[in-house]
Amino acid sequence: MKDINQVLLNPIRSRILQFVASHETATAGEIASLMTDVPRTTLYRHLKILTESHVITVVDETRVRGSVERTYALNIKAISDINTTENALQNAFGFLMKIYGDFAEYFSNPDVNPGADKIFLSNSGLLLSDEEFDEFLFQLSELLKKHINNAPDGKRKQRSISFISSPSNDERKGKNK
């Protein structure tokens, strides 16, 4: 099995996982109908990697015109096993290195235009109770759901937006009490 961070942080596999998560189950055909910018052979290759890595699982197989159509679902147990306290630092490092690699690749091209490409970095400290933070996360989730399954239309571009919630050093040191 590949390094799990390489599996999860690939942009095509990330889109597949988002689709399956938002629909609970999905066939390759259903995923392909949204991801028209990804060739079918590439889509099947990424589905195979996700299946072999046990991140998704085949929950049904149906015969359709001489071939087998598989229905996929997230493997919640495997994902839970990855998201442990013991793996948290490694997962965060892999996540940050993926973003760094994307930026390094982008800026290696001398013709880039960060303004036109709407590249930005932002870091905000929010003072929120647990209840307020839960509401914030819910609102953020609703905003993402509104756009996550947009179909390509010739004008849309794939954009990578990453979020990290981390403890504040001030909070840990007791400075916000």
Q: What is the pLDDT of residues 52-99, one digit of tens each?
A: 999 999 999 999 888 899 999 999 887 777 777 777 777 777 778 778
Higher pLDDT, 85 or 1: 85
Looking at the predicted structure, is the pLDDT value of residue 2 above 60? no
Q: Which residues in 73-109 are b (16+ Cβ under 10 Å) and which e?
A: bbbeeebeebeeeeeeeebeebeeebeeeeeeeeeee
Task: Assign 1 a pLDDT band (cuts: 50, 70, 90).
Answer: very low
Kindly report whether the global pTM for this prediction surpasses the value 0.75.
no
Residue 101 pLDDT = 78
Contacts by 12-15, CB closer than 8 A, 24 or more apart: 12/38, 12/42, 12/43, 12/46, 13/46, 13/49, 13/50, 15/158
Mean pLDDT of 118-130: 89
Alpha helices in the chain (DSSP H): 4-9, 11-23, 28-34, 40-52, 76-82, 85-107, 130-148, 169-172
User: pLDDT digits over 15-57, tens only?
Assistant: 898 889 888 899 999 999 988 889 999 999 999 999 999 999 9
* 3-class SS of residue 26: strand
